[in-house]
A and B are shown apart, each in its own frame.
Chain A
Amino acid sequence: MTGDSPATAIVAEELRRTFGDVVAVDNISLAVPRGTVLGLLGVNGAGKTTMVRMLATVLKPDSGRAMVHGFDVIKQPQDVRRSIGLAGQNAAVDENLTGRENLELVGRLSHLGKSKSRERATALLDQFGLVDAGNRTVRTYSGGMRRRLDLGAALVAQPPVLFLDEPTSGLDPASRLDLWGVIESLVSDGTTVLLTTQYLEEADRLADNIVVIDKGLIAAEGTAKQLKGQIGDTVIEFEFANPSVAASAATTLGSTVAAGTVVRLVMSNGPATLRDAMNQLAAADIAPSHVALREPTLDDVFLTLTGSGATK
Chain B
Amino acid sequence: MWNDRSFRANLGWTLRDTLAMVWRNLTVIRRVPQLLVFSFIQPLIFVLMFRYVFGGAIKVPGTRYVDYLMPGVFVQTVSFGALNTAIGLAEDKNRGLLERLQSLPMSRAAVLGGRVLADTTRNVFIVLLMLAVGFAVGFRAHTSPLEVAAGVGLMVLFGLALCWIFAIIGLFVPNGEAAQAAAFPLLAPLVFASSAFVDPRSMPGVLRWWAERQPVSVTAKGVRALTIGGPEYPTSYVWASIAWSLAIIAVMAPIAIRKYRRR
Could you tell me which A residues sit within 8 Å of B by CB distance? 53, 56-60, 77-78, 81-82, 84-86, 88-97, 101, 105-106, 108-111, 137, 153
Contacts and interface: CB of A to CB of B under 8 A. Distances in A.
Nearest to A89: B96
Interface in B88-135: 95-97, 99-106, 110
15 contacts: A56-B103, A81-B105, A84-B103, A86-B100, A88-B100, A95-B95, A96-B31, A105-B24, A106-B100, A108-B17, A109-B105, A109-B106, A110-B104, A111-B13, A111-B106
B24 A94 contact: yes
B263 A59 contact: yes
A95 B100 CA distance: 14
Interface in B17-50: 17, 20-21, 24, 27-28, 31-32
A60 B263 contact: yes
A53 B99 contact: yes
Contacts of B32: 96
B16 interface: yes
A168 to B, nearest CB: 16
A84 B102 CA distance: 12
A108 B97 CA distance: 15
Nearest to B35: A96
Nearest 7 A-B pairs (CB), nearest first? A60-B263, A92-B96, A92-B100, A81-B105, A86-B103, A109-B106, A90-B96
Chain A, interface SS category: loop
Given A57-B103, A78-B105, A137-B31, A92 B95 contact: yes
Contact of B102 (A58, A82, A93, A96): A58
* Interface-centre pick from B13, B27, B95, B103 (highest chain A CB count, 10 A): B103
Contacts of B104: 81, 106, 109-110
Contacts of A109: 17, 20-21, 101, 104-106, 110
Interface in B59-111: 95-97, 99-106, 110
Chain B, interface SS category: helix
Given A92-B100, A109-B106, A58 B263 contact: yes
Contacts of B263: 57-60, 77
A52 B21 CA distance: 25
Contacts of B102: 57-58
Contacts of B20: 105, 108-109
Contacts of B101: 109
Given A59-B263, A111-B106, A96 B27 contact: yes
A22 to B, nearest CB: 17
Contacts of A81: 103-105
Contacts of B106: 109-111
Given A60-B263, A84-B103, A96 B96 contact: no
B38 to A, nearest CB: 15
B95 A90 contact: yes
B99 A58 contact: yes
B97 A92 contact: yes
Contacts of B31: 96-97, 137
A48 to B, nearest CB: 14
Nearest to A163: B103
A82 B16 CA distance: 17
B112 to A, nearest CB: 14
Contacts of B99: 53, 58, 86, 88, 92
Nearest to A82: B105
A88 B106 CA distance: 18
